[in-house]
Amino acid sequence: MASADSLKIHELCKVSPPSASNFSLPLTFSDLLWMRFHPVERLFFYSLPQLDSDSDPSFFFHSLIPKLKHSLSLTLKHFLPLAGNIVWPSNSQKPIFKFTPGDGVSLVIAESDADFYRLSGNSPIEALKSRPLVPHLDSSDSICSVISLQITLFPNRGFCIGISCHHAALDGKSTIMFMKAWAYLCQNGAESPSLLPGLEPFFDRDVIKGPDGLDALLINQWKELANLMDPSNMNQRSLKIFSSVPPVLDQSLRATFELTRSDLEKIKNTVLAMWDDIENGEESFPSKPQTLSTFVVTCAYVLICIVKAMKATQNNNGKFVFGYTVDCRSRLEPPVPDNYFGNCVSTCIVDVQQEEFTMENGLIIVAKKIYSKVKKLDKAVLDGMDSMIPLWISLISKGVHGIGVAGSTRFGVYRTDFGWGRPIKVEITSIDRGLSMALAESRDGSGGIAIGLVQNKNAMNAFATVFCEGLESL
């Protein structure tokens, strides 16, 4: 565990939007799917300006922090649900977002003596080292914060902005929209309180049309899951985030791997060249496409590397499922505006047997399976949402290994510039709560992909070997 004196708290405050009125929003079925899921936690690392006067700690506390606070307040006026809470009124059948004047976002101002360059680098580092930079998100049976923030100084090196988000409040796309809006207002000053059209959130819940009764069904499923986990808790309307999925930090490493544009093209060409030659029993696959998405080939390649590394170090021989979320905004009918704020995602599950990952042509089989699932989404993106929570329960009870995806290469996280330059690293810290890969575009804009992982030391070392050797053999 990190030493107690490695992080010094300078201030704990609440930032509220200026002159805002009461505001409330219902949760949709897409929000309710994540109602008691663990928060999504991100860290944005920034270098301090190179001028001597600007890299001094006094610049951070007397110039940078006031500017970040003021622009955050202005941003929250556009994003009122984030300044409020999730509550469950006695007269409501489901929880709602509620903002009342005086509400605000918890903000911690801290200072760390940890190694900034190691934390913001790609090389393996103890997973627990990131945890002191992540703000706590308050959650109880009756009320939950929507987001919390922490800004941490690394003297004469840089600073980090950490954000914890309640998953029922916003998906990844909405989170990054908020961060970019905050960065835009910070960079452009108080004289420009308006936002660019693409950063102005759209809150109308009427555009989200789901099957009748899905809201009530999802709420009941969460109640059933809560009863299974804690039969003694009789609160059927609890909002408290499940604490049963803590970070897996013991002997775990965090690292980032990259696939260049050239690597991605080689993987695509390899899969397409053998598409028609590889069958998988009686399972039918779509006809060979003209090309494959970066998402498909990245996930397929990383998945086979993860499973091979696990088999080599942990002797895992069971079944695996690959789960990922898909943005539904453009897939719903009618389409939902691109700046819709909240959750507008569905979850997809791809079943893969362990031997399919590790066989000689495993890359092609896994890529074809992922592609097949993606193709089906174009016609029925909401199919299976009503059974997703029971499916999670069933898979866990059977000991099936789940591998997930967080983030997206389409979010453009490295364009989040508050006025002191783009981030040098963006990390999804919460992947340490399970076996997941975090995806983002390469920082240099070259068209590559950055993949974040958290694994135990032996599995991480094995993964690095399999990852590099696999690319050399393509």
Cα–Cα distance, 102 to 120 (Å, whole number):
35
Q: Where are any strands of DSSP class E within 94-155?
A: 96-99, 105-112, 125-126, 143-145, 147-154
327: left (phi over 0), alpha (psi -120 to 50) or beta: beta
Determine contact, residues 263/471, Cβ cutoff 8 Å.
yes
- The token duo for 192 is 């420009």
| pLDDT digit string, tens, across residues 192-229 | 678 998 999 999 999 988 888 999 999 999 988 888 77
Q: Do domains 4-229 and 252-473 have the same CATH topology?
A: yes
Cα–Cα distance, 168 to 150 (Å, whole number):
20
H or E, element range at 72: helix 65-78
Residue ranges of the domains in the chain? 4-229, 252-473
* 417 is a catalytic site residue: yes
Catalytic residue among 38, 78, 166, 167: 167
| pLDDT digit string, tens, across residues 138-197 | 999 999 999 999 999 999 899 999 999 999 999 999 999 999 999 999 998 766 678 998
Domain covering 252-473 assigned CATH 3.20.20.140 in the classification: no
Of 19-23, 68-72, 334-338, 351-355, least confident by mean pLDDT is 351-355
Cα–Cα distance, 148 to 85 (Å, whole number):
11
CATH, range 4-229: 3.30.559.10
Tell which wins on pLDDT, 230 or 346.
346
Tokens 């399999």 label which residue? 466
Q: What percent of the chain has pLDDT over 90?
A: 68
Instruction: Report DSSP letters for 33-62, one per residue.
Output: TTTTPPPEEEEEEEEPPSSHHHHSHHHIII
Determine contact, residues 151/110, Cβ cutoff 8 Å.
yes
Model pTM above 0.85: yes
For 19, what's the count of Cα atoms within 13 Å in the CB-facing half-sphere?
0
| pLDDT digit string, tens, across residues 88-134 | 999 999 999 999 999 999 999 999 999 999 999 999 999 999 999 99
Average pLDDT for the chain: 90
pLDDT at 269: 96
